[in-house]
Chain A
């Protein structure tokens, strides 16, 4: 078989593999059966005919170069792969040392009595008050920021003398980021002449001007179950009543009985085995939910979803395009034997921030649907905030985009903050790495996440961060220390996201 043919076969096999077991696969099979009954089709040559057709018609462009190894797909730049690898090693060391210091096994099977107990209080795990003081999170966001700050390309001129090539911000890698003209083009639906939810639905604006029509279109999109149209629609914001269904449509989540069954299976896995990361999850949820005015009601949901998420092996498939790799371990006594190699935790993620689930609890109340939505959002978007990669939506690019926007369009502010030792990224990093969850008011956050789904990119987080700085620029110019700058930007809960974005992108005189 020639190179091209084997590549196409591989792609077809991969697509079939992914579709297997889904509703779409059953429909396609039925159609195929119906077509096979036509007498002019010769079954012996069917496979070859279809392959040849695909090649000639150009319907299947190859996603990546055939010579590229799988690591290249995860992350094309070698030095970033290396940095991600050493970061992961640090996390593994931290987990291992926690394990040995506290003499708690990484995983153990729960005795039957304990399993029954957990099953009984499954819906109220928040009432538990286990002693978690000895557990510390695997890493803090500022550790991760330090790693990003120290990223260097060995082939790049990192000279000490200041020149045009010096990066004045914290990020020192020359990734391509968009400037405002390119962002304007990209986020064209956020322009001044287009209606937006978050701006044109405020009480002073009569609903006949925009809101009513927008809601009507949203209902139509839902009636037609058109996923692509939903994605386009949500760029102008989603009405609260329709949001849950629209997001499910965009993420291709439909609650089939098999999905509910799958979630129940995960729940059983949680009950059977107790993992060390469970304690870390408890601690993270307590930190996120207990003290937060908006999220404390969802504490129990957060436990359920995160615990199940950590047992979900289907998440492992996203590592094909994530620069990170899942931690590996061996069954006790079988060190080095590949048949006894497993991933730990089963889904490969040892740090998931509970804050990215909490806003979803406002939309979805049924645990298995909430779980599916969260999982899909995680493997599409949020994983990029926790691994080192050169992807335009990766955290490194977002940081660089934020710094570049601030430097280019607010140079005085940037220079002032830098002079007083308050590098802007140190303040905005925590916002971006949590996708602003826990910092904005919930309705504003959901409007922001509408745009993340609509544009299929996280760049809007960096733009919003810069817009917030622009908004508070006057106050920030008067501060004289990092602590004072943090104080000015401590409370974002009163901000209205869409006007800030619109002004920064489309109404600022440059």
Chain B
């Protein structure tokens, strides 16, 4: 399945905190990021990719287009997906993550808006977010291929067909022709890229100083 990137507008993160932001001392542990698609019609979501930055748990809510004249409702499509197995330690903190359609709790057929809810319960981190957010929809479908049976059910050798008089064995001919064809293909395509272990340039290894870039 190919995928096509959907241009999206990522609104600024909003911190959810109990009490007055100015006077309370703790850092917010919940952030909300709204993602809208201003120039795109409701589409089917295929994949979401992003780079994590110290977010421990991710929930996603989606608002879908409904055909009737009912107002579109927010539905949770991903609940508390764990990005960092231990929120106090670095594991998973800066990983690249992909979330697919099949991992979602609901159908993602006509997406209007997304809301990402980020949670980081540990007080050790100064900030957390997700970066490089990309949304993908399904690309043009490639014609479905049923892979040939010989790969999944290797056929046992059949009984050779009785030869007609005077004619060479057809299976031998076909295999030889195939061999020759494969040889020509190989010669055409191959060019050695094996390393020969040269570290010098044309026999010269007379160096300046080491460079810092």
Interface residues of A (CB under 8 A from B): 2-4, 17, 20-21, 33, 36-43, 45, 48-50, 52-53, 56, 64-65, 67-68, 72, 76-78, 89, 92-93, 95-96, 99-100, 105-109, 153-157, 165, 173-176, 262, 265-266, 269, 273, 311-314, 327-333, 335, 339-340, 342-344, 346, 390
Contact = CB atoms under 8 A, between A and B. Distances in A.
Question: What 4 A-B pairs come out closest when comparing CB atoms?
Answer: A346-B199, A2-B2, A65-B96, A37-B175
Contacts of A262: 197
Contacts of A266: 197
Contacts of B127: 155
B147 A344 contact: no
Given A109-B206, A273-B205, 4 more contacts: A49-B147, A155-B128, A174-B89, A273-B200
Given A175-B89, A329-B210, A313 B197 contact: yes
B90 A329 contact: no
Nearest to A173: B90
B17 interface: no
A108 B204 CA distance: 9
21 contacts: A3-B3, A21-B194, A38-B150, A39-B175, A45-B148, A53-B151, A99-B209, A105-B206, A106-B209, A109-B206, A155-B128, A157-B123, A173-B90, A174-B124, A176-B85, A313-B197, A313-B199, A327-B210, A329-B208, A339-B201, A342-B201
A76 B94 contact: yes
A269 B88 CA distance: 50
Nearest to B192: A20
Contacts of A332: 206-208
Contacts of B51: 67
B193 A17 contact: yes
Contacts of B149: 40
B85 to A, nearest CB: 8
Question: Taking each of A77, A173, A176, which has the highest tally of chain B beta carbons within 10 Å of its own beta carbon?
Answer: A176
Nearest to B98: A65
Contacts of B85: 176
Given A2-B1, A311-B199, A343-B199, A335 B178 contact: no
Contacts of B182: 36, 43
Given A107-B206, A342-B207, A43 B181 contact: yes
B195 A313 contact: yes
B49 interface: yes
Interface in B110-153: 123-128, 132, 134, 139, 142, 145, 147-152
Interface of B: 1-3, 49, 51, 53-54, 85-86, 88-91, 93-98, 123-128, 132, 134, 139, 142, 145, 147-152, 155, 171, 174-175, 178-179, 181-182, 185, 193-195, 197-201, 204-213
Contact of A76 (B95, B171, B199, B201): B95
A67 B51 CA distance: 9
A157 B197 contact: no
B122 to A, nearest CB: 9
Contact of A331 (B3, B94, B207): B207
A108 B206 contact: yes
A167 to B, nearest CB: 11
A333 B155 CA distance: 64
Given A20-B194, A77-B94, A342-B201, A37 B179 contact: yes
A153 B142 CA distance: 45
B125 A344 contact: no
B90 A174 contact: yes
Question: Taking each of A39, A100, A314, which has the highest tally of chain B beta carbons within 10 Å of its own beta carbon?
Answer: A39
Contacts of A176: 85-86, 89-91
B86 A52 contact: no
Given A99-B209, A176-B91, A330-B207, A157 B124 contact: yes
Contacts of A105: 206-207
A92 B212 contact: yes
Contacts of B151: 49-50, 53
A37 B91 CA distance: 50
A273 to B, nearest CB: 5
A313 B85 CA distance: 39
A236 B148 CA distance: 46
Contacts of A331: 201, 204-208
Given A53-B151, A157-B126, A342-B199, A329 B1 contact: no
B54 to A, nearest CB: 6
A109 B205 contact: yes
B210 A39 contact: no
Given A49-B148, A157-B123, A311-B199, A77 B181 contact: no
Contacts of A76: 94-95
Nearest to B126: A155
A84 B201 CA distance: 28
A328 B211 contact: yes
A157 B198 CA distance: 48
Given A2-B2, A89-B212, A328-B211, A39 B174 contact: yes
B137 to A, nearest CB: 13
Nearest to B52: A76
B178 A43 contact: yes
Contacts of B207: 105-107, 329-332, 342, 344
A66 to B, nearest CB: 8
Given A67-B49, A344-B207, A390 B199 contact: no
B2 A3 contact: yes
B16 to A, nearest CB: 20
Contacts of B193: 17
Contact of B124 (A2, A77, A165): A165
B148 A312 contact: no
Contacts of B148: 40-42, 45, 49
B147 A52 contact: yes
Nearest to A339: B201
A92 B174 CA distance: 62
Question: Taking each of A38, A48, A92, A266, which has the highest tally of chain B beta carbons within 10 Å of its own beta carbon?
Answer: A38
A95 B175 contact: no
Contacts of A333: 208
Given A65-B97, A155-B127, A390-B90, A335 B208 contact: yes
B125 A342 contact: no
